Amino acid sequence: MHVLITGGAGFIGSHIADLLHDRGHHVRLLDALLPAAHGSRTVPDHLQSYEVVRGDIRDQAVLRHALTGIDVVCHQAAMVGLETGLGDMPDYVTHNDLGTAHLLAGMSNAGIGRLVLASSMVVYGEGRYSCPAHGTVQPGPRTPPDLDRGLFEPRCPRCGSALHPELIPEDAALDPRNTYAVTKLTQEHLAAVWARHTSGSAVALRYHNVYGPRMPRNTPYAGVASLFRSALALGEAPKVFEDGAQRRDFIHVHDIARANLAAIQREHPGFTTYNICSGQPRTIADMATALAKAANGATPIITGQYRLGDVRHITADPARAERDLDFRPQIAFDDGMEEFGTAELRA
pLDDT in the model for residue 334: 96
Mean pLDDT of the chain: 92
Across 305-322, average pLDDT: 92
Q: Give 259-298 pLDDT, tens digit per residue.
A: 999 999 988 899 999 999 999 999 999 999 999 999 999 9
Q: Give 28-54 pLDDT, tens digit per residue.
A: 999 998 766 665 567 777 788 899 999
- Please provide the size of the chain in residues: 347
Identify the structural domains of the chain with CATH numbers, from first to last: 2-126+168-212+250-279+315-333 (3.40.50.720)
Contacts of 110-113 with CB under 8 Å at 24 or more apart are 110/64, 110/67, 110/68, 110/70, 112/67, 112/70, 112/71, 112/72, 112/73, 112/200, 113/198, 113/199, 113/200, 113/201
pLDDT of residue 9 exceeding 60, the answer is yes
- pLDDT greater at residue 107 or residue 82: 107
pLDDT of residue 66 exceeding 90, the answer is yes
Q: Give 184-193 pLDDT, tens digit per residue.
A: 999 999 999 9
Cβ-Cβ contacts under 8 Å for 16 (sequence gap 6 or more): 5, 8, 74, 76, 256, 257, 260, 261
Across 1-5, average pLDDT: 97
Q: What is the DSSP secondary structure assignment for residue 197, as one 8-state letter? A: H
Three-class DSSP category at 87:
helix
Across 89-114, average pLDDT: 97
**Which pTM value belongs to this model?**
0.94
pLDDT of residue 1 exceeding 90, the answer is yes
